[in-house]
Structure 1
């Protein structure tokens, strides 16, 4: 479902996108991009996207890209987040956290040299860490914008995934760059 326009608070319109497994993700509609007679939406999640990592002493954090929504790790993460008045949401596309998060202090991010040899971690900020079966895990917030691409069909947002995403992503990026830097 999509709001017909700005919400009652005067904010950016929102769009509900659903993945193949029936999970939803409420997003802000950032831009509509027409390509090949279809409208593609560039979206950002309303809630804060997070990534799950396995942590080991001395090793670089290892991203966990697939996790079942019933996974015990997520149940423990739920409890830890509740202690901070936050809620883990098993959304389409990514895990998200709802609730009031403190904005990261840019000065703190620049001064944090703990992960200096791990370039990937420079793009994430640790939200919480926790133990499950004597293994440490962490939920990290991406510092770069997290975008979702959907195809708009009859006012509904259909998630663009897999090969479709690989095919359309470079064209959407080119269109956005052209809009930002017109000749």
Structure 2
């Protein structure tokens, strides 16, 4: 796959699907791959816009944690939106993830944040590199907005109505390792 610095907007319009959550929020995704598995067709989806995470804490002191509480996101969202607008980026409340529309600044290797990630068993995985986009204060707390350099991938399928949807948790747990294996085999 590619990182956010590549131009992902050159794909055809028919390769884009819309995921809509119960609140009516829309996430446009490219269909990166169609994978046949167990007589079903699955979709490997990549959001059209860059995904972002908002962290609370001091990046210099390496004391950061991802803001996941919807109430906190609701409170800080207007400030985050305004700060990103100053950089010609439009923050969006999309299903499953926050995204930004617009041209991301060039990647500065010295500014990257490396996050150590562990799996469920506590084993260290490859660190995730995040590009800083903006920071701001709200109610005397420091927040930072980052976008991952590695693309965010979703697995989905078409439902009976022909609309794209994410896999349910049970189905995802069952087929995720098989889908990832096929996807990585295709990339080699």
* TM-score of the superposed pair, with normalisation by structure 2: 0.77
**Contact map agreement 2:67 2:73 (CA 8 A) in 1:** no
Task: Tell me what 1:35 maps to.
Answer: 37
Task: Tell me what 2:5 maps to.
Answer: none
Q: CA RMSD in A?
A: 2.5
Q: What's the offset of the Cα at 1:79?
A: 1.0
Determine the C-alpha separation between the residues in 2 that align with 1:10 and 1:74: 30
Aligned residue among 124, 131, 140 for 2:137: 131
1:89 aligns with 2:92: yes
The aligned length equals 167
**Contact map agreement 2:25 2:94 (CA 8 A) in 1:** yes
Task: Tell me what 2:102 maps to.
Answer: 99
Determine the C-alpha separation between the residues in 2 that align with 1:42 and 1:69: 31
Determine the C-alpha separation between the residues in 2 that align with 1:22 and 1:160: 18
Gaps of 5+ in 1: 1-8
Task: Tell me what 1:51 maps to.
Answer: 53
Task: Tell me what 2:82 maps to.
Answer: 79
Determine the C-alpha separation between the residues in 2 that align with 1:24 and 1:161: 18
Q: What's the offset of the Cα at 1:90?
A: 0.4
**Contact map agreement 2:111 2:132 (CA 8 A) in 1:** no
CA 10–126 in structure 1, closer or farther in 2 if over 3 Å, else same: closer
Determine the C-alpha separation between the residues in 1 that align with 2:105 and 2:41: 35
Q: What's the offset of the Cα at 1:35?
A: 1.8
CA 174–70 in structure 1, closer or farther in 2 if over 3 Å, else same: closer
* TM-score of the superposed pair, with normalisation by structure 1: 0.79
Aligned residue among 146, 171, 175 for 1:168: 175
TM alignment of 1:5-44, pairs within 5 A:
11-12=11-12, 13-44=15-46
Of the structure 1 ranges 26-35 and 48-57, higher mean CA displacement relative to structure 2 is found in 48-57
CA 28–68 in structure 1, closer or farther in 2 if over 3 Å, else same: farther
**Contact map agreement 1:53 1:64 (CA 8 A) in 2:** yes
* 3-state SS of 1:71 partner: helix
Gaps of 5+ in 2: 1-8, 118-126
